[in-house]
Each structure stands twice: as C-alpha cells, then as structure tokens.
Structure 1
C-alpha cells in the first residue's frame, strides 16, 4: 500500500481529475465542432460507430461535464476561503471573477456555439448565498434539489404528456439544474473537509462508492437497452443516471489518487488540468483545425475517438512545455487580471 498523498499532492490530484474531465468533455464537444447542415451529409451511426456512440452515452455523456462542475464548486470554496484569509471580501471577489468568466464565455460562444462558460458564470452566482451557510444547511438544500430533479426526470419518462407539467418537468429536470447540483456538491465536499481530508473520511467515501456503484451498473444497462430500442426518452434516462454515475466516478478517482505513485504517473494529465481554462478554450480551435486537415464533412463516433485523443495528446505536450517556462496558463492569467483589476501575483 502506497502512503497517502500530502496536501500539495492533493491539489495535484484535483488537477488530474480536472484534466481527465477535459478529456471526457472532448468526446462530447468534438462532434459539435462541425456544424450539421439540413439536407447535408449526416454522421454514420451504423456498425462500430453505433456501438461507440452508445458507449459514449453510457460512460461519458453528461458525466464529465458534471465532474468539471463538481470541481468548479470545490474551486469556489478554495478561492473564497483564501480571499477571506487575505482580508478580502470573498463574495464580492468571486462575483467579480464570475463576471469576468461571463464576458469571456460570451465571446467564446461566437467562436464555439457549445461553450459552457457563460452558463457556468450565471449559475455560479447561485453559490454565493451558500458561502456562510452551515454544512447541514447546504446538505439539506442539496438533497432537496436532487429530489426535485429526479422527480422531474421521472415525470418526463413515465407521466402522460401534458403541456403545463411537461414545461415544469423540463425546467426542473434540465442540464442547468444538474450542473448546479454538482456545483453545490463540490462546494459541500470541500467545506465539509472531505477534499482536504480524504484519508480521514475514507469510510464515508467508500460508503458512497458502494451505494453509487450498483446504481452506475443499473443505469448503464438501462441506457444500453434504451439505445438499442431507439427509446425517445434516452436523454431523460441519461439525466437520471448522471448524479450517481458522477459520484461513483469521483469516489473512485479520489480513492485511487490517494496513492503517491498514481499521482506521480498521472502528473502530465494534471498539467492539462492545471491550465484547464486555457485548454478548454483551445480545444475548439485545435479540434476544428484537425477536422479541416482531415477533410471531414461530418464527424462520426469513430472520428470523435481519434480526434479527441489527438487533441488531448497535443494538450498534454503543450501543457508540460508551458509549465517549464511559466507558472500559470495564459487565459488563467487573463482571468486573474480581470478578477483583481491589477497584475496579480502568480500565487494566491
């Protein structure tokens, strides 16, 4: 058994998870880099492409964005508490950080229509009232929102179509709600000390693993069967499984990354996560360039696997080279400048 990681290595572990989340996000975004035109060629979903598409639905769709969202919540806690420790106003400073993210996100939408940054910024403001709340209060709010979200999705799946109820189900059960659930989950995990004291809370982490593991298997089978049957409710089924699956992935990763040798092995991926903002923005440009060089009119699932892997390898190499000369990513530096209104130091 390898010894547990130090506090510094724990931050690296968060970067590794963030880097892995960026890799998973690529499998969803790459297909959107090539805009489909009505009446034009469509991606091939037969044979191996159909299998790959279903596997992406089962293991990746919505899950890795949710991991990224969880880490955003963790980041809010770390940022705000550090700001408060410096004598700064944590809510005001984080609000300014969100405004900067919103501006960058709006600009990015004009370059890539699937950008999530502006949505993250808007939903991030909903975290501000929870900063001074007790852990028990946050837990109750989280459980209430999760319950409403699940009921809405079950309503979409099983309840008869009704204009009013369908609108309510669609509002409460949409992806924005699941993103905020993961924001709040990450903030709660950080504030409760789970992130900084994984070893001490290992029994709780393993309990969550044992609970979500069977749910992950069950939803995976359900999604597979729904895909094979061409079930029109597939998006609602995917949404229903995203929370337990994301919790399952996160608990697995946190347990695995408690070992120093694993952390050391995955440090190159951590470098990608360390400049996640820059790499997320760069992915759409690199992906579009690769699609153009390959001369693809449409991007099929097998193409997605190849292109996503190439992009991530490029970003690993670039990130490792970048940190040999700099201590912070270029867009991270811009974001920090916009947050503080002056040339901030590289350490917070």
Structure 2
C-alpha cells in the first residue's frame, strides 16, 4: 500500500511558536476591552495600565511573525518544487475569507482580513533584499507617525478612537445575533478607508521587518540574536516603558504620534524577555508554543467565547461588567487556551482554522495526527 506523499516543509521554529502563543494573551487583553463595551474601558487605572503596556504592542509581534512566516512558506514551496507566489496568493485569499466571516459573526476588529490583503502587497515586494526592506519599513512607519500626529492635531476625537453613539452601539450588541452582526459589519465598512491606510502605513512595515528577519533566518540562529536581547530590554523597559506610562497617564490624543514610536520598542522588549526565558527554562516553550502552533484557531476562539459572553445571542453582558472583572475574564480565557492547546497538539497536527488555511493553500487534505516532537513539526504559521 502506498501513501500519499506529504507536503515538504521546513522545520518548525520554537521561537516563532512561543512568541505567537505569548502574543495571543496580549491580543485578548486589548480586544476584550471593545468586546465587553464598544466604547472601551472608562478612564481609570485599568485603562491607563492597558494603554501603557498592551495597546498597540502585541499586534506588532503578530505582524512581525506574519512577515517571518511568509519566508518559511516560500522555502517550503521551493522544497516542494511548487510556485511559492501561487501558494501565497491562495493563503492570503483564504485569510481574507476567514477574516470577513470573523468580522460579521464575531469581531469587527479582526486582523486576518487585513493580513491577507497586506500579504498580497508584501508578496509583490518579496524580491527585496533584507536591508532594503528594513529601510522601506522605517520610511513607511515614519509616515505613519507623521499621519497620527497630524490626525491628533486636526481631529483629536478621531485619534482617540471614540465612537459617535455609544448607547446605540450597546443596544445593538444586546438585542440579538442579526443586529449584532449588522453592527459589526457597519463598524467595519464605515472604517474601511482608515483601516486600509492604517494597515499600509503601520502593519505593512512590520511585515517587512519580519520578512527581512526571515530572509536572514534570524530566529533560527540563537547565537546571533541572544547577545542583542539585553540591550533591547534596556531600551524597551528603561526608556520606552516609562514614557509609555507617562503618555497613558496624560491620556491625550495629541500624543498619538509619539506613542506610535514607543510601541515597537516596548513590544520588542517583551519579545526579547520571552526569548531569553525560553532559552533558560523549558516550561516557557511547553507553555506558550502549543498555543502558538494553533494561533489562528485560538484567535478566532477568543472572539467566539467573548461573543457568547457579551452579545445578545449569548449572555448579553456587554457594558455590564466592571473593567477589572473583564480583565480577570480575559486572563481566565487565555489560561484555559494555553492548557487546552497543550492537550490538542498532542493528538492533532493543526487546529481547525489552520487546517482550513492549509487546505486552501495546498489544495489537498493534510494529515491530522501529530506523532512527533514539537521542534520537528512542519511550519504552519498564520
């Protein structure tokens, strides 16, 4: 009996899975603020804490990892003798489709649709050399900082992200499935222009940095990045963190531009800390890597769970829980995901969403059982 040849792939990189699994917690802490209340948290300690140390920090890690993963998909296609561009187009279109479903049914702040769209733009830039990619990323991100500064000066309410009619938004989220879905779609469609501009000026540069790192195989060579990590931590925690806290305490939309400069520095310091811990303690890999392996599934699952809790087709608790109780709920959900992910990957190679994405990418079923060690698995980066 002959078996179907498996898709050739590059080895998984533990650092990618660990960082992705770690970032999932920060993503949930941010997203749950608008899932629990369309207006977000009210001014107070919880809001200040999140603005200083979570907001605009963790999508930085996710975006970097997406760019890095694209280079690994290219390598996998080359080993298969397949067209890497065609594979990437199929994967990006699949991400966009999943993202649109996610927006309508669960969360208007979805990133998968934007990742798929921007992934197509990144694909058109895939021949860039690493240094050139970093230069373009820096220039584009600089434009983003200038844009945020201009918006904060001309339209402070737009920079703060406040919504026009919070009471109406609460009512629509509480009434039922169709009205909540309609509200999410209206929110997304009303902001599509800003969404695309934000993605091009802010997320695409982070893709490019990750893409450049992937081309140089930075995370595959610990001897290259480990000596840099203490300096990165010093800059992030010693300079960016105090300034970010100060900006959060002041809480002025006029600081949107400067704050955009601090976010990548602090996010990089978080990543540096996790990477250093990973190389000293095996529990770090064991805890975060399984969740990172099925990051797309966990990301969607966070929205499913919070929708059941907060919207009208569930418990309809939107706008009814204290802020610190919402954060406790987020921590509980994330802890459960870490534990369930560890159990899942013992018996399955991919999560449900990852399996769908791979089916769309490769055009044929992928074997589900996982009878191998963590570091030997094929890469299925989101």
Assess same fold via TM > 0.5. yes
Instruction: Report the more deviating stretch, 203-212 or 14-23.
Output: 203-212
Question: Could you tell me which residue of structure 1 aligns to residue 59 of structure 2?
Answer: 65
Q: Among 103, 112, 115, which residue is 2:97 paired with?
A: 103
Shift of 1:282: 0.8
TM-score by length of 1: 0.81
Instruction: Report the more deviating stretch, 141-150 or 21-30.
Output: 141-150
Q: Among 6, 18, 28, which residue is 1:16 paired with?
A: 18
Instruction: Report the more deviating stretch, 203-212 or 113-122.
Output: 203-212
Instruction: Report the more deviating stretch, 128-137 or 115-124.
Output: 128-137
| C-alpha distance 45-156 of structure 1, shift in aligned 2 (>3 A) | closer
* 1:24-103 pair list within 5 angstroms: 24-34=26-36, 36=38, 45=42, 50-103=44-97
Instruction: Report the more deviating stretch, 91-100 or 284-293.
Output: 284-293
Say whether residues 1:152 and 2:147 are aligned partners.
yes
Shift of 1:249: 2.1
Shift of 1:345: 4.4
Question: Could you tell me which residue of structure 2 aligns to residue 116 of structure 1?
Answer: 111
Shift of 1:337: 0.5
Partner Cα distance (1:326, 1:15) in 2: 16
Gaps of 5+ in 2: 1-9, 156-193, 369-377
| 3-state SS in 2 of match to 1:136 | helix
Partner Cα distance (1:214, 1:82) in 2: 39
Say whether residues 1:142 and 2:164 are aligned partners.
no
**Which whole-Å deviations, capped at 9, do the CAs of 1:163-195 have from their partners, x for residues lacking one?**
xxxxxxx79983552211211111111212321
Q: Among 253, 278, 288, which residue is 2:274 paired with?
A: 253
| 3-state SS in 2 of match to 1:77 | helix
Partner Cα distance (1:215, 1:150) in 2: 18
Partner Cα distance (1:211, 1:296) in 2: 38
Instruction: Report the more deviating stretch, 73-82 or 236-245.
Output: 236-245
Partner Cα distance (2:200, 2:318) in 1: 32
Partner Cα distance (2:203, 2:244) in 1: 20
Partner Cα distance (2:364, 2:289) in 1: 28
Question: Could you tell me which residue of structure 2 aligns to residue 233 of structure 1?
Answer: 254
Partner Cα distance (2:329, 2:219) in 1: 33
Question: Could you tell me which residue of structure 1 aligns to residue 247 of structure 2?
Answer: 223
Say whether residues 1:193 and 2:217 are aligned partners.
yes
Q: How many residue pairs get matched?
A: 320
Question: Could you tell me which residue of structure 2 aligns to residue 304 of structure 1?
Answer: 326
In 2, are the aligned partners of 1:272 and 1:279 still within 8 Å (CA)?
Answer: yes
Partner Cα distance (1:24, 1:267) in 2: 18
| C-alpha distance 123-299 of structure 1, shift in aligned 2 (>3 A) | farther
Question: Could you tell me which residue of structure 2 aligns to residue 270 of structure 1?
Answer: 289
Task: Provide the alpha-carbon RMSD of the alignment.
Answer: 2.9
